[in-house]
Amino acid sequence: MKNAESCKGLSAFNDLAENYGHHLPGSPADLFDWLLEQPQDMVLSLLAFGAAHSVNAVEKKFTDRKRGIEQANQLGRALKVNMPDWFETTGDSYFKHVNPHDH
């Protein structure tokens, strides 16, 4: 990703990863026992964080992923995600993705 440091969503995601990294046990062998000792909201937050890595809501010009996009849209609506809160469209961000041969 170009200019990743300017992406609020990625920054928030990285902050979560760092935060969870401080809490998780260092040894994978200790993870399951550690999870059993955690309150349900902590476990659910970790599961949501893990699931977020598998969501792909990028709409490309030519794609057969119509169902996947609709599922991502449903997830966004359920979580009340408002993309303008996380991504600002600028001339620079737009024109970096426009092919000069598109007319």
Q: Give the pLDDT confidence score for residue 34 in this predicted structure.
A: 93
Pairwise CA distance, residues 25 & 31, whole Å:
6
Average pLDDT estimate for 68-83: 81
Q: Give the pLDDT confidence score for residue 5 in this predicted structure.
A: 66
pLDDT of 79 strictly over 70: yes
Q: Give the pLDDT confidence score for residue 22 in this predicted structure.
A: 79
Q: Give the pLDDT confidence score for residue 76 in this predicted structure.
A: 82
What residues contact 43, with CB distance under 8 A and at least 6 apart? 35
Average pLDDT estimate for 35-49: 89
Pairwise CA distance, residues 23 & 27, whole Å:
12
In total, the chain counts a number of residues equal to 103
Residue recorded with tokens 């964080």: 49
Confidence of residue 37 (pLDDT cuts 50, 70, 90): very high
